[in-house]
Structures are given as structure tokens and as C-alpha cells.
Chains A and B, each alone.
Chain A
């Protein structure tokens, strides 16, 4: 089981918002956004909610569970 996310997609939907700009808005470093998008870093509930609030979406739209990793 793994955490998937649509952060990159929503970032591009917002006029190709850069990772740096998103990071500054959320209050983290660009490396953190990069690692979240790549699925290498699982954000805390608080950070996930902050990202969801930034995009004005429910957290489940940004983050979801990948049941079968092989299928991804």
C-alpha cells in the first residue's frame, strides 16, 4: 500500500505554478514538494490538509491510497 497524489496535476492546473511558489505558500521547502510529488515522502496529515486547502480541494482529491503498487 502506497500514497499516491495529484499535487503535480493540480499545480499545473494552476497556471503551471512552480514547486518553489507552492512550497513558499505552504511553508515548506521546494525539496519537500518535489519529494511528495515523486511519492518519496509521505506528508503529515497537517501538511496534506494545508496543501488541500491551498488548492481549495478535499484532501482525498489530492492524496489517495494505491492498493496495488504493481498496477501503478
Chain B
């Protein structure tokens, strides 16, 4: 089966889960924990590193075979879990206020890195070191890496 069909199936199943799971007894067992908060951000770092390495090493796989979507899938599913928790608990306060603050701080700290990264990509394109649509996965994976790392740094430090 082609990768895009697998991805489409996962998307449909995720949508279905968001509708079905809150209506089951299993929903009561779902909760956000500190371990999960760490796991999601560590996952973001690992996916970011793997994505950057794969994009630079095998851009053909990443762009033509939809591998970058496959790599992003665990992160997407973890954020869908957040959405599921919000639906089940009928609340937007899934994270505690320090976690929410640290995520905001991480977003702000990531912004200058993202701008720098875009300037660097622009320079590399201008010098034709990079060509084609490779900028997109490079940007997405870099931002994911920078953001996830900053969340963990702020959470541990502050």
C-alpha cells in the first residue's frame, strides 16, 4: 500500500477515535501525566533530529515517498491525544499552569531561531546548495526540534 494511503487511513481512524473514545468507559482512564508531558517533548526532539537527518541524507524519500509525514505522525498523534483529553474532560486545562507557561515561553524562544533558520535556508538556496521543496521539511523539523527542546529546558530550569 502506498504511504499516502496509510497516512490517510491513520487520519480517518484518528478522527473516528476522537468521536468514539469519549463515549466509552475507557475514556475515564485517560489522563495527562508529567511522564507523558516529558515523553511528548522528547518525541518532538527525536522526530526533529531524525527528520533533519533524513531530509538532508535522503531528500528523495522525504519528499516523494511522504516519509516526512510518516515521521511527523507520532507527534501528530500525541497532539490528538491532547485534543482527546480536552474532549473527555470537557476542559481546556489539561496542562497545569506552569506547563502552559513553559510552552508559551518555548514558542517565544523558538521564534528567533526559526527566523535565523529561514535566513540560513534562503542563503543556501541563493547559493544553490539547496534546491526544490526541501525547505519545507527542513523548516518543520527544525522548528519541532527547537520548540520541544525549549519546552523541556524551561520546564526543568524554571
| A29 contacts B99, C-beta separation under 8 Å | yes
Identify the closest chain B residue to A28 (Cβ).
B96
Write the nearest CB–CB distance from A60 to chain B, whole angstroms. Answer: 21
The answer to whether B34 touches A41 (Cβ under 8 A) is no
Q: Mark B147-158, 1 if CB is under 8 A from A, else 0.
A: 000000001001
In the assembled complex, the Cα of A59 lies from the Cα of B97 at a distance in Å of: 18
| B95, closest chain A residue (CB) | A29
- Cβ of A31 and Cβ of B155 under 8 Å apart? yes
**Inter-subunit contact A44/B96 (CB<8 Å):** no
Q: Count of chain B residues with Cβ under 8 Å from any Cβ of A?
A: 9
A-B contact number at CB 8 A: 26
Binary interface encoding of chain A residues 24-47 relative to chain B, with 1 for a CB under 8 A from any of its CBs, else 0: 000111111001000011011001
B34: chain A residues at CB < 8 Å are 29-31
Question: Nearest Cβ in chain A — how far from B35, in angstroms?
Answer: 10
Separation of A28 and B101 alpha carbons in the complex (Å): 13
Query: A41 contacts B101, CB within 8 Å?
Result: yes
Contact of B66 with A by CB under 8 A? no
Q: Which residue, of B34, B98, B99, B158, has the highest number of chain A Cβ atoms within 10 A?
A: B98
Which A residues lie at the B interface, using CB under 8 A?
27-32, 35, 40-41, 43-44, 47
Residues of B participating in the A interface, judged by any CB pair closer than 8 Å: 34, 37, 96-99, 101, 155, 158
